[in-house]
Amino acid sequence: MRILWRRGIVAGIIVLTCLPGTAWASVEVDLLLDKLVEKGVLSRQEASDLRSEIAEHKDAGNEQLAKEVVPKWTQNISLSGDLRLRHESFKRDPSTSAPEYRHRQRVRLRLGAKAKVSDQLEAGLRLATGTNLDPISTNQTFQDTFDKKDLFVDLAYLKFTTAGTFMETLPLTLWGGKFENPFYSTSLVWDGDLTPEGTAVSVTPKLGPADLFFTGGVFPVDEISTNGGDPTLYGAQAGAAWSVANNLSVKGALAYYDYANLENGIDVFTNSTFGNSGTAASNVYRPANGLDFNELNLLGEVSSQVFGRPLKLYADYVKNTAIADNDEGWALGFKVGKADKPLAWEAGYFYQRLEPDAVLGLFTDSDFGDGGTNRSGHVYYAAIGTLKNSTLGFKWFVTEEITGSDAAVDRFQVDWLTKF
């Protein structure tokens, strides 16, 4: 019986010292064994023998026992998540139907898991707070008498890569399901919380010093049960990234996004047209007669360092080639620093202008103005690392309408973000 106790203690300590994410050192092992001697569970000689045996296992790099003790399915799964608390204030001028001033508090929670099914196949799942039928927000507002907050499926996908196969000389990644946006982009065209659904493929070969990337995808926007012409997004992008010199790199891409069958209507979460020309009745949006969205998107960035801190300058331009008026958008900005540890900081600025029908407004940045298109303005932001894996951030949007009422919206956000 005593031998079984001893083997159990050895196994337990080895598991604790070998599991990913643990930081057990010899001092913790010594304290545990001393406590077992004090309680009479072990003799001093047995404790000494155990120290030698445990050290032997660790010195040999033997993690096999930990693998045998821990359930096998946990060895191929990684978990991650983040929690963001936000205070947000608005000022609207003129106030129109909305109040001139508004203040609210919000929360975003995301919990994700990735499973390595094989060397080539990954399965992913993420749950996130949000609002049903809203594809570009994972926030929940503190309201409605402490009601419970909803969790939705934010990601559910399979990802296949050619690594380790006969095709590994042509690096290819294939997604299916609901996944992160596969296109290189800024907030001009796509909101950062958007997780499209469908199928996408990306090929990433090298050409000398350049890393090339070619991405394409087909994404059902809505399903019309009584009509075969389902609204669908077809996207394609080609780009390259390369290091020009020490601490100087360049990245650029050209993309084309083509929406088909929008005239059949798409479900939206309000009666708004999101800045586009058209109608939105009964939460179904239809573009104005003849309006289509064939978006040509050119963007790029230059990354370097200044005073030992990372610096990025970027530009983004989009044009709806299907029409000839109110059809363009562009953005210019920079970011310096990186708030990736306590007291590290970052700051940035960008100016953005997005004419009413430059892009489909449903998927653009929901924080810029009131979301959607027909908006121009300035955005200032900064963040500082506080605790480990936590940052405190500030963001200020100063925007106004391009056409129509010239309504201005100022929005100020304070975010506490913790990753785990």
On whether both 175 and 300 belong to a single domain, the answer is yes
Write out the two tokens for 323. 């029409």
What distance in Å separates the CA atoms of residue 212 and residue 215, rounded to the nearest whole number? 10
The pTM score is: 0.83
Query: What is the amino acid identity at position 72?
Result: K
On whether both 300 and 412 belong to a single domain, the answer is yes
Residue 304 domain flag: yes
Instruction: Write out pLDDT tens, residues 32-91.
Output: 778 777 877 778 887 787 777 766 665 555 556 555 656 677 789 999 999 999 999 999
Residue 77 domain flag: no
Q: Interhelix angle for 44-59 vs 2-18, to 10°?
A: 40
User: What is the predicted pLDDT for the residue at 342?
Assistant: 97
Q: Where in the sequence is the domain holding 30, given as residue range(s)?
A: 2-69
Burial-class residue 374 by CB neighbours within 10 Å (0-12, 13-18, 19+).
buried
On whether both 107 and 157 belong to a single domain, the answer is yes
117-142 b/e with 16+ CB inside 10 Å = b?
A: eeebebbbbbbbbbeeebbbbbbbee
On whether both 8 and 107 belong to a single domain, the answer is no
Residue 342 domain flag: yes
Instruction: Write out pLDDT tens, residues 159-185.
Output: 999 987 777 778 999 999 999 999 999
Of 45, 69, 93, which closes a domain?
Answer: 69
Residue 79 domain flag: no
Q: What is the 3-state secondary structure (H, E, C) of the chain?
A: CHHHHHHHHHHHHHHHHHCCCCCCCHHHHHHHHHHHHHCCCCCHHHHHHHHHHHHHHHHCCCCHHHHHHCCHHHHHEEEEEEEEEEEEEEEEECCCCCCCEEEEEEEEEEEEEEEECCCCEEEEEEEEECCCCCCCCCCEECCCCCCCCCEEEEEEEEEEECCCCCCCCCCEEEEEEECCCCCCCCCCCCCCCCCCEEEEEEECCEECCEEEEEEEEEEECCCCCCCCCCCEEEEEEEEEEEEEECCEEEEEEEEEEEEECHHHCEECCCCCCCCCCEEEECCEEEECCCCCCEEEEEEEEEEEEECCEEEEEEEEEEEECCCCCCCEEEEEEEEEECCCCCCCEEEEEEEEEECCCCCCHHHCCCCCECECCCEEEEEEEEEEECCCCEEEEEEEEEEEECCCCCCEEEEEEEEEEEEC
For residue 171, whether the previous peptide bond is cis, meaning omega lies within 30 degrees of 0, is no
Residue 252 domain flag: no
User: What is the predicted pLDDT for the residue at 21?
Assistant: 45
Strand pairing report for 309-320 and 294-306: antiparallel
**Residues 200, 175: contact at Cβ < 8 Å?**
yes
Q: What are phi and psi of 88, to 5 degrees?
A: -135, 130
Residue range 153-162: mean pLDDT, rounded: 97
Of 69, 98, 124, which closes a domain?
Answer: 69
Residue 258 domain flag: no
What distance in Å separates the CA atoms of residue 372 and residue 285, rounded to the nearest whole number? 13
User: What is the predicted pLDDT for the residue at 253?
Assistant: 98
Residue 232 domain flag: no
On whether both 23 and 127 belong to a single domain, the answer is no
What distance in Å separates the CA atoms of residue 155 and residue 244, rounded to the nearest whole number? 36
Of 37, 69, 101, which closes a domain?
Answer: 69
Residue with tokens 């998107």: 297
Beta bridge partners of 42: none
Average pLDDT, the chain: 89
Does residue 23 carry a pLDDT above 50?
no
On whether both 60 and 93 belong to a single domain, the answer is no
What distance in Å separates the CA atoms of residue 93 and residue 399, rounded to the nearest whole number? 11
User: What is the predicted pLDDT for the residue at 163?
Assistant: 82
**Residues 126, 155: contact at Cβ < 8 Å?**
yes
Instruction: Write out pLDDT tens, residues 222-238.
Output: 998 776 789 999 999 99
On whether both 171 and 37 belong to a single domain, the answer is no
On whether both 165 and 299 belong to a single domain, the answer is yes
On whether both 357 and 392 belong to a single domain, the answer is yes
For 7-21, 198-212, 334-348, which range has the lowest pLDDT when averaged over its residues?
7-21
Residue 228 domain flag: no
Does residue 217 carry a pLDDT above 70?
yes
* Total of domains in the chain: 2
Cα 302 from chain centre: 22
The CATH number of the domain holding residue 369 is 2.40.160
Question: What are the Cα distances from residue 111, in Å, to 153, 157, 372?
Answer: 10, 15, 27
On whether both 53 and 118 belong to a single domain, the answer is no
User: What is the predicted pLDDT for the residue at 375?
Assistant: 96
Write out the two tokens for 15. 């598991």
Query: Closest Cα partner for 366 from 222, 215, 190?
Result: 190
**Residues 418, 87: contact at Cβ < 8 Å?**
no
At 405, the pLDDT band (50, 70, 90 cuts) reads confident
On whether both 302 and 167 belong to a single domain, the answer is yes
At 346, the pLDDT band (50, 70, 90 cuts) reads very high
On whether both 316 and 384 belong to a single domain, the answer is yes
User: What is the predicted pLDDT for the residue at 246?
Assistant: 87
Instruction: Write out pLDDT tens, residues 268-310.
Output: 988 889 999 999 888 899 999 889 999 999 999 999 999 889 9
Does residue 22 carry a pLDDT above 60?
no
